[in-house]
Structure 1
Amino acid sequence: MRLPAKRYYKNGQRFFFGVVIGAMISWLIFLFMFGHMQEEQAKTIRKQKEQILELQKEKNIWQEDFKKLNEKNKQLLTVQEVIVKIENAKKYRIDPLSVFEVEESIKEDINNLLAKDLHLVYESRDLLKKVIMNKQIKINDKRYRLIIKEMVIYTTLTIHLELILDD
């Protein structure tokens, strides 16, 4: 078997070396472009991490301010409504209209507590009890006194009362 002469393979060798050199150049270009893109991604990630940290700090500041405002608002709650109920009117056979009128008169007496601070209402609860308990009520030619059975002080002031005959 005889080896072919070199001159027959010069075109093949040029083509082969061209492919190898082209592959190396394209590989270097790929590495350069890939490295540049990765560097840009790393910068973007670093900026985003800094933004996240800043936003978390800002969020914590807002949450602390919000908690302080909530605590302040809890302290400043006011009475919005007054509810008065007489529970033992059936015992004395008092008609519902008379019971309603008595409840409304008591509401009028303590109506000045509306829109007052809960702390103020709580501190004046003894005075409120005395105002209600010292009131004499005349229903069907009989005199009654009121006893406070239960009093709940919150945004709705709820007072449950009982009637007793006054001697």
Structure 2
Amino acid sequence: MHIPPYHKKAIWQRFFVGALIGAVIAYCVFAYMYNSMYERLLENNLELKSQVTDLKNQNDALLKDKKDLDEKNKKELTVESIEVTVTNAKNLKLDHLTAHQMEDIIKAEINQIIGQEVRIIDESSELLTSTIENKEFAINDFTYSFTVTKIAITQTVKIEVEAKTSS
């Protein structure tokens, strides 16, 4: 039995080259779609982990505070949560993952204020500001320092910071 010599005909050569190029393009499209989907899933996962950590810390602090409030005056307000926002993330061209990591690191640094009285935190707001500004944080082989631009102290402490890369 004889196999036909398709490799010698120009039409078949074009067909095989076209099929090969099509396969390479299809693989590139598949890899791009998979990577973008994986990045979204990873970002979503980090957001959910951050929320779970915040809720656990908040729950622990509130349970501890509830025990203390039974003994103390119930009229005083306490800090229940912390919100941190990096205002210049777009200017530094930071991806969402790095911005979330920055926010989580700052929250972890000042986590001990949850459950404290708002009056006490308000009196020591300069200490809170200097705690954030005087530390350098390493994220993804870069060292960042932060400047507090805005701080609002209520039951939810809202802090806006500007990130700077340190050399």
Report the TM-score when normalising by structure 2.
Answer: 0.53
**Helix, strand or coil: the match of 2:82?**
strand
1:98 maps to amino acid: T
1:137 alignment partner, SS class:
strand
Could you tell me whether the CA contact under 8 Å between 2:88 and 2:163 is conserved in 1? yes
Is it true that 1:98 corresponds to 2:101 in the alignment?
no
Q: Deviations over 1:6-29 (max 9, x none)?
A: xxxxxxxxxxxxxxxxxxxxxxxx
Whether the 8 Å contact between 2:101 and 2:139 is mirrored in structure 1 is no
- For structure 2, which runs of at least 5 residues remain unmatched after alignment? 1-72
- 8 A Cα contact 2:87 2:160, kept in partner: yes
Partner of 1:81: 81
Deviations 1:113-142 (A, max 9, x none): 111111110111111111100121234433
What residue is the counterpart of 2:164 in the other structure?
164
Instruction: Tell me, in whole angstroms, the C-alpha distance in 2 between the residues paired with 1:143 and 1:111.
Output: 21
Aligned to 1:111: 111
**Distance (Å, rounded) in 2 between the aligned partners of 1:126 and 1:120:** 12
The DSSP-based 3-state class of the residue aligned with 1:83 is strand
1:10-68 per-residue CA deviation (whole Å, 9 max, x = no partner) reads xxxxxxxxxxxxxxxxxxxxxxxxxxxxxxxxxxxxxxxxxxxxxxxxxxxxxxxxxxx
Bigger Cα Rg: 1
How is 1:9-88 mapped onto 2 (pairs within 5 angstroms)?
A: 76-88=76-88
How far 1:92 moved relative to its partner? 1.3
User: How many residues are treated as equivalent by the alignment?
Assistant: 95
The change in CA–CA distance for 1:90 and 1:139 in structure 2 (over 3 A counts) is farther
For 1:149, give the aligned amino acid. Answer: T
Q: What stretches of structure 1 move > 6 A for 4+ residues in a row?
A: none
Specify the code of the residue in structure 1 equivalent to 2:145.
Answer: R
- Aligned mates of 2:143, 2:111 — CA distance in 1: 23
- Identical amino acids, percent of aligned pairs: 32
**Residues in 1 aligned to 2:145 and 2:165: alpha-carbon distance in whole angstroms:** 6
How far off is 1:79 after superposition? Answer: 0.7
- Aligned-partner Cα distance in 1 for 2:142–2:107: 21
